[in-house]
Amino acid sequence: GLGALGLAVIHGLVRAGARRIIAIDINPTKFPLALQMGATETVNPLEIPGGRDALVSHIVNLTNDDGVG
């Protein structure tokens, strides 16, 4: 989510040099601030049809399977 803690995480990721930061929240009014702070993409889980599994697949597709690990 993109409350105070989520925004702090974005800040930390930017300072650490992350090249992609995907911000996730069900409230799209929080997206502009997240992008301003350094998020590179935003996702509203309520806009991804198919539930949790579809959300995971959507994020994997966004990252082209280029995750951590």
Question: Worst-scoring range by mean pLDDT, 3-7, 10-14, 45-49, 59-63?
Answer: 59-63
So what's the pLDDT on residue 51?
A: 82
pTM equals 0.84
Can you give the pLDDT at residue 31? 98
Q: pLDDT tens digits, residue range 18-68?
A: 999 999 999 999 999 999 999 999 999 999 998 888 988 888 888 885 655
Residue 69 has pLDDT above 70, yes or no: no
Looking at beta carbons, which pairs linking 30-35 to residues 24 or more positions away fall under 8 Å? 30/2, 31/2, 33/2, 33/7, 34/2, 34/6, 34/7, 34/10
